[in-house]
Structure 1
Amino acid sequence: MTPRPTGAWTALAITLAVQALVSMAVLTVPAMAPAMAQSLGVSATLIGAYIAVVYSGAMIASLMAGPLVVRFGAIRISQLGLVVCAAGLALLALTPALPAAFIGAFLIGVGYGPITPASSHLLARTTPAHRASLVFSIKQSGVPLGGVMAGAFVPALLIAGGTEAALLAVAAGNLVCALIAEPMRPPLDADREPGRPLSFTSLVGPLRLVASHADLARLASYSFIFSAVQMCLATYLVTYLHSALGFGLVAAGAVLSTAQVGGVIGRIVWGYIADRWLAPRLMLAVLAGLMALCCGATAALQAGSPMPLLLALMVVFGASATGWNGVYLAEVARLAPAGHASAATGGSLAVTFLGVVLGPVLFGLLSGAFDSYRAGYLALALPAAWCGWQLVRHARRVVTA
């Protein structure tokens, strides 16, 4: 049965809001990393380890999402994710110690992990095929939108009330979103199967699904690199601007917001282009090339670089490094076997999240070894360029086959 248009728009609106709030939860600590590091008495380079813990939890939760979504419904699982993110933020706020920080980070990841598989399940059911890339891209614009909110509000909240107030304010926002979603649950979760048994005996099932499909496996491998670039941009930009270029935290947060605005715009534009004119995998190849160029340009920034040039670079960097996800997820949902969109998305995201786990850690180690964040951004350019080349090569083989 084809859902009514109102159901489709409602599904898009609530999944976008949920995505934005959990993304803001993930990026709250990076948006105030120097102050958070000072309060914990650790080096700001440990922010990479924090992100690794967040996405370790997300990776596990994404693999578990499939059966949970089928049994309880996409909206209920999204609400649960919001609440768990809020709990992680509250723990960080109320127990300012390093062990609690990592437990809180893991909880935020567990809350974040099932959100995209849940929304993919819902949108795959409610979205016409010819609008898939655009709709998935609009929903995924919630990720950079959450970054915009983190960059715009968290430093100001930090100055007004300290780290505790900033963390608790974002936690409250997640809880409010969970409450707002409740009236929408009955119609949007109408396909849930309450009697479906839960079986987590094999978390590798979604991974096997992806590995058994050559195109899905190839896309997942590219997402490993793309996600590393995306998260290194979001995780280290404020610290890089603050420590290497002399920016204040509020100004650096504003630049981060600019990059994330680029991501919001980019996701929607790329989704529209992928639906209308350019095949999704060629669109991803273009974005990989832009990522490589922007990584190199960011590494070359100097303290006296003109602000308009910096902001323009950040818009393009954000548009590419955080703009690829919607096109990617729509392609994953399209390639997935019928009825397995959430499982295919969960398996693909496990690989994506692995890039998020390892990327910032390796970035931090490399930057520490060279005593410069420039080395980290420069190193990211090479694998991004390789992904672009591979996507173009594969597209040519498909065309000539």
Structure 2
Amino acid sequence: MTAATPKQGDTWRVLGVTLAIQAMVSMAVLTIPAIAPAFAERLHVPVSLLGVFVVLVYSGAILASLMSGQLVRRFGAIRLSQAGLLFCATGLLLTMAPSVWAVAPGAFLIGLGYGPITPASSHLLAISTPAHRAGLVFSIKQTGVPVGGMLAGAIAPPLALQAGPLAAVAVVLAACLICVLLGQPLHATHDTDRVPGTPMRIGGLLRPLRLVLAHAALRRLATTSFVFSGVQLCLAAYLVTYLHTELAFDLISAGIALSMAQVGGVIGRIMWGYVADRFLGATRTLITLSLLMAGGSIATGLLGEQASFVWVMALAVAFGAAATGWNGVYLAAVARLAPEGMAGTATGGALSVTFFGVLLVPAAFGLVSDAAGSLGAGYVLLALPALLCAVVLLRALKLGGER
């Protein structure tokens, strides 16, 4: 007897589980950065090594996202998501060792756990979600990323101050393990499309990327995401430093601004998914977001010491809604354009490009800001690639009639 394939109609149950998993792996990635000073002090290393930690995490994420198509097909999307949580938990366990040489492979393992989660959930949601609801559903699921960031920021620092950094890491590790159990009931009903005998080939690592590069619309979306992800990370990684060192905000106020940007991201991901589904379509929505990112970058870079706290918080929410709100619309578009049954593969290939943006754009932002002598100048110049994305997408809309 052949197992049934998951059908549309189970959208909200799948969404709830994938949202929780996304939030947990995001929290796993962001917990160490959230307690970086205390964590670095424990290891007797400079806080600047946080950059190496982030590079190792996203290097693992790139590799895992490229493998995700084969892994989803062989093991099923739910089982792969559970494995991702276990990799994150193992990586966090290694970071608890009193040696930087254990933290390094721990960071890479966290990335290996983080990388396949979005392709796996895209595979599940592409099957279970009606097309007219895809943008909203994918956007809600992607709120797991800023939700995970908010949880890391709200839970990890107080725990680190009260009980030490190891306590904060241990709590997140335990949450990942609990989330593994949360996904188990869906395995029997939503991993029935797996093909257990699917061979795992090294050459298959490039298949997702080749799929994306061979498809003009997917290639354009992936290239756009390279810039968008870079803008998102520049906002998250540099905002506190910028407000504190150049605008004389105290650290608590600067931290609140970063939290407000994450709140904006949660609101934006849901709002833009609804707008794409009901009004503008994916391409027009992404053009709008490109322009808003450019405007947010310029407005942030032109802030002066006289800027009021209320204005900075409002700007942080608006900038966050654009710079962190694009993911669901993007992923729904990738899943829609992918060949039938290959949403996970296409998402993995597209995300490998996205993660390269995470690695390269913030580094370039730092170099440009150093050369200009101001993070404000870096934010202003960050508007240029965002505007270029708007031009490219607008041209595609006019020439190709894309939705």
Greater shift in the superposed pair: 197-206 or 59-68 = 197-206
Match of 2:130 among 128, 131, 137: 128
Q: 1:291-322 deviations in whole A, cap 9, x for unaligned?
A: 11112222233455322111111111111111
Q: 1:239 to 1:47 in 2, by over 3 A?
A: farther
Q: Give yes or no for the alignment of 1:11 onto 2:14.
A: yes
Q: Is the 8 A contact 1:91 1:104 kept in 2?
A: yes
Q: Structure 2 matches for 1:89-168, cutoff 5 A? A: 89-97=92-100, 99-168=101-170
Q: Distance in 1 between matches of 2:224 and 2:8?
A: 35
User: Residue 240 of structure 2 corresponds to which residue in structure 1?
Assistant: 238
Q: 1:153-195 deviations in whole A, cap 9, x for unaligned?
A: 2222222223222222222211111122112221121222223
Greater shift in the superposed pair: 185-194 or 240-249 = 240-249
Q: Distance in 2 between matches of 1:346 and 1:325?
A: 14
Q: 1:286 to 1:45 in 2, by over 3 A?
A: farther
Match of 1:181 among 170, 180, 183: 183
Match of 1:364 among 363, 366, 373: 366
Q: Distance in 1 between matches of 2:52 and 2:385?
A: 21
Q: 1:22-62 deviations in whole A, cap 9, x for unaligned?
A: 11111223323344444455554443332222111100000
Q: Give the unaligned 5+ runs of structure 2.
A: none
User: Residue 55 of structure 1 corresponds to which residue in structure 2?
Assistant: 58
Q: Distance in 2 between matches of 1:387 and 1:303?
A: 31
Match of 1:383 among 382, 385, 393: 385
Q: Is the 8 A contact 2:6 2:189 kept in 1?
A: no
Q: 1:219 to 1:127 in 2, by over 3 A?
A: same
1:198 partner letter: M
Match of 2:228 among 216, 226, 229: 226
Q: 1:376 to 1:318 in 2, by over 3 A?
A: same
Q: Is the 8 A contact 2:297 2:379 kept in 1?
A: yes
Query: Once the 2 structures are TM-superposed, how far is the Cα of residue 366 of structure 1 from its aligned partner?
Result: 3.5
Q: 1:53 to 1:396 in 2, by over 3 A?
A: same
Q: 1:388 to 1:185 in 2, by over 3 A?
A: same
Q: Is the 8 A contact 1:216 1:335 kept in 2?
A: yes
User: Residue 396 of structure 2 corresponds to which residue in structure 1?
Assistant: 394
Task: For residue 279 of structure 1, give the secondary structure of its aligned residue in structure 2.
Answer: helix
User: Residue 279 of structure 1 corresponds to which residue in structure 2?
Assistant: 281
Task: For residue 384 of structure 1, give the secondary structure of its aligned residue in structure 2.
Answer: helix
Match of 2:195 among 193, 196, 199: 193
User: Residue 337 of structure 1 corresponds to which residue in structure 2?
Assistant: 339
Q: 1:4 to 1:285 in 2, by over 3 A?
A: closer
Query: Once the 2 structures are TM-superposed, how far is the Cα of residue 263 of structure 1 from its aligned partner?
Result: 0.7
Match of 2:27 among 8, 20, 24: 24
Q: Distance in 1 between matches of 2:144 and 2:16?
A: 10
Q: 1:359 to 1:30 in 2, by over 3 A?
A: farther
1:317 partner letter: F
Q: Give the root-mean-square deviation of aligned CA atoms.
A: 2.1
Q: Is the 8 A contact 2:6 2:192 kept in 1?
A: no
Query: Once the 2 structures are TM-superposed, how far is the Cα of residue 247 of structure 1 from its aligned partner?
Result: 4.8
Q: Distance in 2 between matches of 1:234 and 1:287?
A: 17
Match of 1:68 among 71, 74, 78: 71
Q: Distance in 2 between matches of 1:377 and 1:175?
A: 39
Q: 1:266-289 deviations in whole A, cap 9, x for unaligned?
A: 111111111111021110011111
Q: Distance in 2 between matches of 1:168 and 1:365?
A: 35
Query: Once the 2 structures are TM-superposed, how far is the Cα of residue 83 of structure 1 from its aligned partner?
Result: 1.3
1:226 partner letter: F
User: Residue 317 of structure 2 corresponds to which residue in structure 1?
Assistant: 315
Q: Is the 8 A contact 2:227 2:385 kept in 1?
A: yes
Q: Structure 2 matches for 1:249-328, cutoff 5 A? A: 249-328=251-330
Q: 1:44 to 1:2 in 2, by over 3 A?
A: closer
Q: How many corresponding residue pairs?
A: 398
Query: Once the 2 structures are TM-superposed, how far is the Cα of residue 375 of structure 1 from its aligned partner?
Result: 3.8
User: Residue 217 of structure 2 corresponds to which residue in structure 1?
Assistant: 215
Q: 1:343 to 1:259 in 2, by over 3 A?
A: same
1:120 partner letter: S
The share of aligned pairs that are identical, in percent, is 56
Q: Is the 8 A contact 1:94 1:164 kept in 2?
A: no
Query: Once the 2 structures are TM-superposed, how far is the Cα of residue 393 of structure 1 from its aligned partner?
Result: 2.2
Q: Is the 8 A contact 2:15 2:141 kept in 1?
A: yes
Q: Distance in 1 between matches of 2:96 and 2:266?
A: 29
1:260 partner letter: Q
Q: Distance in 2 between matches of 1:241 and 1:298?
A: 10
Query: Once the 2 structures are TM-superposed, how far is the Cα of residue 19 of structure 1 from its aligned partner?
Result: 0.6
Q: Is the 8 A contact 1:263 1:320 kept in 2?
A: yes
Q: 1:152 to 1:229 in 2, by over 3 A?
A: same
Q: Distance in 1 between matches of 2:201 and 2:194?
A: 16
Q: 1:50 to 1:371 in 2, by over 3 A?
A: farther
Query: Once the 2 structures are TM-superposed, how far is the Cα of residue 244 of structure 1 from its aligned partner?
Result: 4.0
Q: Distance in 2 between matches of 1:311 and 1:276?
A: 29
Q: Give yes or no for the alignment of 1:78 onto 2:105.
A: no
Q: Distance in 1 between matches of 2:62 and 2:312?
A: 33
Q: 1:252 to 1:32 in 2, by over 3 A?
A: farther
